[in-house]
C-alpha cells in the first residue's frame, strides 16, 4: 500500500509538467482513460471533476461520467481550462477527545514561551487566519469574538450579497458537498480554532493569538469525510477573504495535482500555510503524505511534541519535509456546545504554530510569509537528548521567534 501511495503521488505530480505545446482535452484531463491503472482509483469520484482555469481559479463541476464531461464541458471551454482532475474522497483521521469544563491547562502555551510575547502587547491583532477544517462553532463564547465577520453579507437571507459566489458567508463558509448523516458536529475544527485564537476573557482556554480573527472554511463533514475538490474550494475561499495564514490540520490526499496547484497559488499570493504532519508514526520523507510532504516556501509542516518535550510515538516525522515540533499531546481547547476538551494529534500541534505566526505578523505587519517562516524555524528550542526528527531538530519557541523577526524586519 505504501509503495502504491508513492507511485500514485509521483504520477499525479508529474501530470503537472506532462502537457505538450498543443492543448487538447486529453492534455488538460490526462487521467481520463488512465484511471483504471491508477493506485488511487478507489478514491476517485466518477462524476465530479476539479477544474483549474487559466486565470488560476478553481471550480468543481459535475457530469454523468468523464466522457460526458469531456464532450459537454471541457471541449467547449478548452481555451480557458488549464487542468482537470477527478475529485477524490478524503477521510480525515479521527482524534479522541475527553470533555471537561471549568479547567485551565495551558502547558503548551507555557512551553512555547508565549506569555513573554503577550507581555509586549502582541496578541495577533489585525491578522486573519483561516481554519480550513471541520465545523467551527462560531457561537462558542471564546470563539464568537474572534470570528472575522464578512460585513458584505446579510446573514441568513439566502443571497450572495457581496457577489463572491458564496451564499450567506457572514460567519464563514461551508464547502461540504456530501453532508454526513451524523447530526453531531465534529469537534475538530472548533478545537483547532481555539488553540489559535480562543479569547481567554470568556473561558478557560488561552488561545495563542487571542486577538487574531478566524475565518471558518469547512470542508470536512461531521463523520470526518471530505473531498479533494471541497478542500481546494475552501482554500481558495480563504485566500479571497484576506487570510494571511491558513491552518490545514488534515491530510490523506491520494492524488495531489489540483491540491499542489492550489498551494502554488497560495504561495504566489504570499499566504502562509501551516500543515499537520500526520499521526501515522511514519517518516513522510520516505512515505509521503499530502499536503504535509509538499515543500513550498510558504509552508510549515508540524510534528507533535509531548508534555515531557519529546516526540510523540504517533507523530509523523521527516528531516526534509517536517520542519519543527509543537505541543500536540493532551491539549485543552474549545469544542462545540460551550465547553472544552482534551485532544491529541499533529492537528493540535499545527495551530500552535499558526497562532505563533499570527503573533509575529501582528508585531511586524510588513513581513513576508517567507520571513515569518524563517523566524519560526531559526528560533526553535533544541535540547540535548530531546532532539526531534524534523528539519530543525527543535520545538516551537514563539518568544525567540519574535526576537529573530525583529532582526529580519526592523
Distance CA(30)–CA(84), nearest Å, equals 8
Distance CA(209)–CA(48), nearest Å, equals 38
Q: Which stretch of DSSP H or E encloses residue 302?
A: strand 299-305
For 43, 111, 282, 402, the CA distances from 362, given in Å and listed in that order, are: 40, 21, 35, 10
User: Torsions phi, psi of 172, nearest 5?
Assistant: 130, -165
In DSSP notation, 208-269 reads SSTT-EEEEEE-S-TTSEEEHHHHHHHHHHHHHTT-SEEEE-----SS-HHHHHHHHHHHHT
Q: Which residues have CB under 8 Å from 149's CB, separation 6+?
A: 170, 171
Q: What angle do CA 366, 367, 371 make, to 5 degrees?
A: 170
Task: Give CB contacts under 8 A, 24+ apart, made by 279-283.
Answer: 279/93, 279/95, 279/304, 279/314, 279/315, 279/316, 279/345, 279/346, 279/347, 280/314, 280/316, 281/313, 281/314, 281/315, 281/316, 282/316, 282/317, 283/316, 283/317, 283/318, 283/389
Q: Which residues are known catalytic residues?
A: 133, 188, 347
Amino acid at each position: 500500500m505504501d509503495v502504491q501511495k508513492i507511485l500514485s503521488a509521483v504520477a499525479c505530480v508529474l501530470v503537472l509538467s506532462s502537457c505538450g505545446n498543443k492543448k487538447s482535452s486529453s492534455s488538460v484531463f490526462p487521467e481520463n482513460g488512465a484511471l483504471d491503472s491508477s493506485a488511487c482509483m478507489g478514491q476517485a469520484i466518477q462524476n465530479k471533476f476539479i477544474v483549474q482555469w487559466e486565470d488560476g481559479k478553481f471550480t468543481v463541476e459535475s457530469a454523468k461520467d468523464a466522457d460526458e464531461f469531456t464532450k459537454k464541458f471541457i471541449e467547449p471551454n478548452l481555451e480557458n481550462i488549464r487542468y482537470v482532475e477527478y475529485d477524490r474522497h478524503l477521510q480525515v483521521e479521527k482524534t479522541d477527545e475527553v470533555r471537561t469544563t471549568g479547567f485551565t491547562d495551558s502547558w503548551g502555551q507555557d512551553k512555547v514561551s508565549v506569555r513573554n510575547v503577550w507581555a509586549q502587547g502582541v496578541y495577533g491583532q489585525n491578522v486573519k487566519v483561516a481554519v480550513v477544517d471541520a465545523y467551527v462553532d462560531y457561537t462558542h463564547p471564546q470563539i464568537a469574538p474572534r470570528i472575522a465577520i464578512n460585513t458584505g453579507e446579510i446573514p441568513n437571507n439566502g443571497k450572495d450579497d457581496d457577489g463572491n459566489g458564496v451564499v450567506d458567508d457572514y460567519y464563514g463558509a461551508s464547502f461540504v458537498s456530501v453532508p454526513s448523516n451524523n447530526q453531531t458536529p465534529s469537534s475538530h475544527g472548533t478545537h483547532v480554532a481555539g488553540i489559535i485564537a480562543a479569547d481567554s476573557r470568556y473561558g478557560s482556554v488561552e488561545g495563542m493569538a487571542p486577538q487574531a480573527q478566524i475565518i471558518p472554511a469547512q470542508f470536512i463533514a461531521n463523520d470526518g469525510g471530505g473531498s479533494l475538490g471541497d478542500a481546494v474550494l475552501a482554500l481558495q475561499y480563504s485566500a479571497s477573504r484576506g487570510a494571511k495564514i491558513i491552518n490545514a490540520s488534515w491530510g490523506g490526499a491520494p492524488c495531489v495535482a489540483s491540491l499542489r496547484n492550489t498551494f502554488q497559488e497560495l504561495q504566489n499570493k504570499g499566504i502562509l500555510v501551516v500543515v499537520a504532519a500526520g499521526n501515522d508514526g511514519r517518516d513522510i520523507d520516505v512515505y509521503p503524505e499530502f499536503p504535509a510532504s509538499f515543500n513550498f516556501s510558504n509552508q510549515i509542516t508540524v510534528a507533535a511534541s509531548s508534555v515531557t518535550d519529546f516526540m510523540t510515538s504517533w507523530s509523523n516525522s521527516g528531516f526534509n519535509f517536517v520542519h519543527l515540533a509543537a505541543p500536540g499531546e493532551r491539549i485543552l481547547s474549545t469544542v462545540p456546545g460551550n465547553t472544552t476538551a482534551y485532544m491529541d494529534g499533529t492537528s493540535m500541534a499545527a495551530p500552535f504554530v499558526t497562532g505563533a505566526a499570527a503573533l509575529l505578523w501582528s508585531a511586524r505587519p510588513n513581513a513576508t510569509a517567507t520571513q515569518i517562516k524563517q523566524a519560526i524555524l531559526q528560533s526553535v528550542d533544541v535540547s540535548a537528548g530531546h532532539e526531534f526528527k524534523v528539519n530543525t531538530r527543535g520545538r516551537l519557541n514563539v518568544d525567540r521567534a519574535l526576537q529573530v523577526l525583529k532582526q529580519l524586519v526592523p
